[in-house]
Structures are given as structure tokens and as C-alpha cells.
Amino acid sequence: MIAQEILSPQSNEHGVDNEFDTLLTILCDLVIKGQEIDPDQYGPVAAAVIDPDNRVVASTSRKINDKWCHAERAAIEQYTNKYGLLPKGCSIVTTLSPCSESMKSRYGSSCEDLIKSLGIDDVYCGYQDPTQNSEYSICENPKMNQLCKEFADIFLDNKNLEENFHDGRVKGKSRPGRVKRAGASCKGSVTDLRKKAKNASGERAKMYHWCANMKSGHKK
């Protein structure tokens, strides 16, 4: 599992002046690490639990029996395994707002229901998932918000385009246009696209990964 314990994040290397935004930069690094290791096992969302003693445990989303254990649930499980039950006054920081709707691909109940059941009121998100009916505090740092959106787009774009991909029709032009401009292509199998991504770099590699994620049916 891509998870780690973080103690009092204070880094300001990304030009942020909010401790939660600083933590978001660490969570984004976890997402990148998971995508590099195995994007079919680790999802493009990361979350962290912060307790009143400023202990922080973070995790990416991950697969359990072919279903996605969302990042918030994974982080909570990591915390309870290490420290026991969550005390009052904990906060959740996540790159994407917690899910609230029914999802066949999800392991367990919605993250919103889980968070509420634990009495956690303080939830801070890098980006608001437009497909979910939830309202939380959203990062206002434009660079961090955009980065978290790009991670979310890995599966949100797939969610919107998946049915049209098989018959050659694609709704929306922003991401397919980026694929073409980067010199990449979505032609080929998932395995072929992963190999091309490993042999490429920068935007081209990112677009090959995106194409592979679309074809493999990436979910949150």
C-alpha cells in the first residue's frame, strides 16, 4: 500500500502558506508515487487523517478484491491500525472531495457516511468532485487546486468517456487534444500503452498513462 506517517508538515517548497495546503503537496507526491508503481492497484487520490496531537497518517486509494478502497477509508484504516480509534477533533485532508453517491466500483460505504459516523467535521479538499453531491472546504491555492483536479481527471474523464471510447466516439476535446499535442496516441492495448509511457517522459508519458487508465476502466 502507498501509505506513510507524516509528522507536522511544515514545508513551504511549493509556495503555500496554509498547513493543509502543505499537506496536500505531500499527498500529491503519494499519488505520483502510486501511479509510477502500479496505477492499476493504486488510485489517483490520496487522503490523510490528522489527530489533535498532530499525528498524520496518509494513504492513496487502493484496490481490494477488484473494488476501490477510497483514500479516506484507507487512511482511516491505517490510522486505526497504528493508533486505535480516532479521537475527537480529527481532521481529514484529501486531494478530492469525499464520495457521497452509490458506486458499484467502491469497497465499503461512501466516504461521506464513514466520515460522519466517526464524528469528523473538519474536511479539507484539494478539488471538488463535480459528480458527487457533497460540500466541503476546498483549497483556494490555484496551483494546488489545479494539480488535484488533474489527478481527479484521470478517472473523471474516463467516467465520462468510457462508453464512447469503445465505439470510437469521444465527448469533449480538452484531454484528447492534449494527447495529440503531446505526440501520444490511445491506440493499442493497455499493456502497450503502459510500455510507451515508461519509455516516454513529461507530458507525453502522462498522456499515455491517461489513455491506459481510460482503457483499463480506472475508478476512484
In tens, the pLDDT along 5-42 reads 554 444 444 444 578 999 999 999 999 999 888 888 99
State the pairing for strand pair 91-94/67-69.
unpaired
What is the number of residues in the chain? 220
Rounded Cα distance, 85 and 77, in Å = 9
Which DSSP state fits 106?
Answer: B
Rounded Cα distance, 212 and 80, in Å = 34
Q: Please, what CATH class does the domain formed by 3-151 belong to?
A: alpha beta
* Residues 84 and 26 sit within 8 Å (Cβ to Cβ): no
Predicted TM-score of the model (pTM): 0.69
Q: Specify the residue for cell string 473538519.
A: 122
pLDDT per position as a tens digit, 44-61: 999 999 999 999 999 999
Rounded Cα distance, 17 and 43, in Å = 27
Cell numbers for 213, please give them.
487508465
Task: Give the burial class of 190: count Cβ atoms within 10 A of its Cβ; 0-12 exposed, 13-18 middle, 19 or more buried.
Answer: middle
pLDDT, residue 191, reads: 83
Q: Kindly list the domain boundaries of the chain, sorted by start residue.
A: 3-151, 153-216
Backbone phi, psi, residue 47, to 5°: -145, 160
pLDDT, residue 112, reads: 95
Contacts of residue 112, defined as CB under 8 A and 6 or more positions apart, other chains included, come to: 98, 99, 100, 134
pLDDT, residue 206, reads: 78
pLDDT per position as a tens digit, 190-209: 888 888 888 888 778 878 88
How far is it between the farthest Cα atoms of the chain? 53
In 3D, which of 74, 107, 106 has the Cα closest to residue 92? 74
Span 150-168, average pLDDT: 60
pLDDT, residue 159, reads: 52
